[in-house]
Amino acid sequence: MKMKVVQCWDDGVVTDIRLTEILRKYNAKATFNLNPGLMKAERQPCGWVHGKFYGWSHKGFYGGKIGIDELTEIYAGFEVATHNWRHENAGQVPDDVFIKSATDTRKFLEDKFQRECRGYAWPCGLYTPSTMALLHEAGFAYGRTTKNVADVTKYDDSMALHSNCHFQDPQFWAKYDAAKATGVFYFWGHSYENFEYDGLWGQLEEKIKIITEDPDTEWGNVIDIVK
């Protein structure tokens, strides 16, 4: 049996455009975790921050935001999942605020993409027993954390679904090879972590290419782990 390789990417940023072009080139599946409340009708450009900046950046680089009007075009053919309306963190807002954010996001995505969107990714990897229970009650299939484990198929609760590693993990290939014994390899990240550096984008494309050409693997979606 082939190992299933799954991947997901957070935040709905402009650098996802370059990422989706690479993924389509190799027919690679992926799940994108979105926060529509942080998006505007039109695209917010990415780039290096200079002078005053009243948003969040990654090491001085702002990943931008996909425009609401272009969501379905950019993510066509890929899975989309909930990352809360405005990236609200579990345990840092009241539970009723948290679950409204999660369910409002899911409804928005299902209306926008006209398909079921039962996946969820915990903002900042934060989760609590009560918010896990609320997601179960709301019908979500899983909640992705930011923790790494050797075997992602062994979980006590699908609302605490861990991954094998981050896409830039120095041990990426060692963990990839080890996961063949479990049947699933799961990695995640943010596309803005490649900045505008062609070298980093080239490294990511090489990973996608090697996985695609590996006769012992096949691409899957995150939700396949818990189905």
What is the spatial distance between Cα 167 and Cα 126, in angstroms, rounded to a whole number?
Answer: 20
Residue with tokens 């990426």: 172
H-run or E-run covering 163: strand 161-163
Predicted confidence at residue 56, as pLDDT, reads 82
Number of domains in the chain: 1
User: What's the Cα-to-Cα distance from 97 to each of 37, 39, 126, 189, 216, rounded to whole Å?
Assistant: 14, 19, 15, 26, 44
Note whether 20 and 205 are within 8 A (CB). Answer: no
Query: Residue 125: is its pLDDT beyond 70?
Result: yes
Sign of the C-alpha dihedral computed for residues 3, 106, 160 and 15 taken in this order? positive
Structural domain for 213, as ranges: 3-225
Segment 69-81 shows an average pLDDT of 98
β strands within the chain, DSSP E = 3-10, 31-34, 47-48, 61-62, 79-82, 144-148, 161-163, 165-166, 184-189, 217-219
Query: Residue 54: is its pLDDT beyond 90?
Result: no
Predicted confidence at residue 52, as pLDDT, reads 67
- Which CATH number does the domain housing residue 81 bear? 3.20.20.370
Q: What is the pLDDT of residues 168-209, one digit of tens each?
A: 999 999 999 999 999 999 999 999 999 999 999 999 999 999
Strand partners, 161: 144
Q: What is the pLDDT of residues 22-45, one digit of tens each?
A: 999 999 999 999 999 999 999 999
Q: What band does 227 get if pLDDT is binned at 50, 70 and 90?
A: confident
Between CA 102 and CA 205, with CA 74 as vertex, the angle to 5 degrees is 105
What is the spatial distance between Cα 28 and Cα 214, in angstroms, rounded to a whole number?
Answer: 12
Average pLDDT, the chain: 97
